[in-house]
Amino acid sequence: MIDVQLKRKITPRVANGHPWIFSNEVDKVTGSPAGGEIADVFTHDKKFIGRGYINPKSQILVRLLTRERQDVINDDFFTRRITQCWEYRKKIGYTENCRLVFGEADSLPQLIIDKFNDYFVVQTLALGIDRWKPAIVETIQRLFNPRGIYERNDVPVRELEGMPQQKGFLSNEFDTKIIINENGLKFYVDIENGQKTGYFLDQKDNRRAIRHIVKDADVLGAFTYTGTFEIHAAHYGARSVLGLDISDNAVKQATQNAVLNKMQNIVQFQAANAFDILKQWSREARKYDVVMLDPPAFTKSRETIQKAITGYKEINLRGMKLVRPGGFLVTSSCTNLVSPELFLQIIDMAAKDAKRRIRQVVFQTQSPDHPVVAGIDTTQYLKFLIIEVQ
């Protein structure tokens, strides 16, 4: 039995619902964990807080799986939790494709499961959850009888946990280039080699949010990846759409998606560095009715937050300059450390520098199959904003 006793004075984070216990918050550990075992966590005066998995190699010593003392952590526990996750997605109407398990927000820290219709992609990003992979896979098999399950654990964060990066089949082998349906469109998903789990499910509702503003519009999209926003724009009636991504492979896949939806006459993709080309085009006074930006996260650490702020300001400033008066900027930020308030401030600064007046049309977060939980700040990460640029 491993017991972890916290120091007397720690921040209220854990009491407010956050499941992580940092090693510098711990007074003493009874027993000698090798890593991955289940541990009970107590306050300095021995009140039970919760039960989770421990890894002495990680700065995050314990991640809590439950706050109920009677919960036994075994295979059944994971089956029950994942079943609850599925019941919840069914209730809120996210079934065909969805994030079935969103880690901490589903009380299954560091476990990600994306469901792409009959296919499942799993990430186990900490040692203590990786150990339960057989039970997790067994549960997916039992609940869904899927066509395939794939592990995308080729993620650097695993090394902080003393684990290798790896990817591969967790079921019988299958063709890893699949097609999914979203908002009435079709998209290829490359489960083996695509970014993250292969597809960004979190923007599903946001892609639909552009449907009115793109009608008859000339649209420019930057950071397109497989072209999802751009193909939606064409579907919703855009006159022309150009999508830019720095990766040749992304451009190739985006083009395949345009063909798959028979939209190659309206949507074109081009490999380019968005920072450079947007600057050049605004110098050349090019104009679009709608500009869409969806860059990758600019930082993961507080030390470089200023760099991220500068990056967002820069790219949004350049984007706004390309918008015809009365047109729209559609802009996202998935940097967790940039709060919704800060993102709005950055956009406001960019508008002032661009000498444009703006009005907010839509401001929302990720799709609800990625639940936001108060007290767990990492669960609210996506900012999605549409503004009118006057």
Residues 6+ apart with CB under 8 A from 135: 75, 78, 79
What angle (nearest 5°) sits at the alpha carbon of residue 351, between those of residues 337 and 218? 100
Cα separation of 329 and 386, whole Å?
Answer: 6
Cα separation of 122 and 197, whole Å?
Answer: 8
Short-list 54, 59, 49, 47, CA closest to 31: 54
Nearer to ligand SAH, 38 or 234 (CB): 234
Does 182 engage in binding with ligand SAH (CB under 6 A)?
A: no
Does 74 engage in binding with ligand SAH (CB under 6 A)?
A: no
Nearer to ligand SAH, 273 or 360 (CB): 273
Residue 49 DSSP SS3: strand
Does 153 engage in binding with ligand SAH (CB under 6 A)?
A: no
Q: Which of 274, 308, 337, 354 contacts ligand SAH by CB under 6 A?
A: 274
Element (H, E) at 251: helix 248-260
Nearer to ligand SAH, 200 or 381 (CB): 200
Total binding residues for ligand SAH by CB under 6 A? 20
Minimum CB separation of residue 188 from ligand SAH in Å reads 12
Minimum CB separation of residue 125 from ligand SAH in Å reads 19
What angle (nearest 5°) sits at the alpha carbon of residue 11, between those of residues 340 and 18? 60
Chain position carrying tokens 């919760």: 50
Q: Which of 25, 130, 161, 294 contacts ligand SAH by CB under 6 A?
A: 294
Q: Which stretch binds ligand SAH (CB under 6 A): 31-39, 109-117, 145-153, 267-275?
A: 267-275
> For ligand SAH, what does the binding mask look like between residues 187 and 216, x meaning CB under 6 A?
-------------x--x-------------
Tokens of 352: 């002032």
Nearer to ligand SAH, 71 or 190 (CB): 190
Asked if 345 and 360 touch (Cβ cutoff 8 Å), the reply is: no
Minimum CB separation of residue 226 from ligand SAH in Å reads 6
Residues 6+ apart with CB under 8 A from 299: 305, 307, 308, 335, 337
Asked if 283 and 298 touch (Cβ cutoff 8 Å), the reply is: no
Does 364 engage in binding with ligand SAH (CB under 6 A)?
A: no
Chain position carrying tokens 């009959």: 118
Nearer to ligand SAH, 81 or 318 (CB): 318
Nearer to ligand SAH, 84 or 364 (CB): 364
**What does each C-alpha distance from 105 to 50, 99, 191, 343 come to in angstroms?**
16, 11, 23, 22
Does 97 engage in binding with ligand SAH (CB under 6 A)?
A: no
| Touching ligand SAH, residues 214-253 (CB under 6 A) | 222-226, 228-229, 244-247, 250
Does 273 engage in binding with ligand SAH (CB under 6 A)?
A: yes
Chain residues binding ligand SAH by CB under 6 A are: 200, 203, 222-226, 228-229, 244-247, 250, 273-275, 294-296
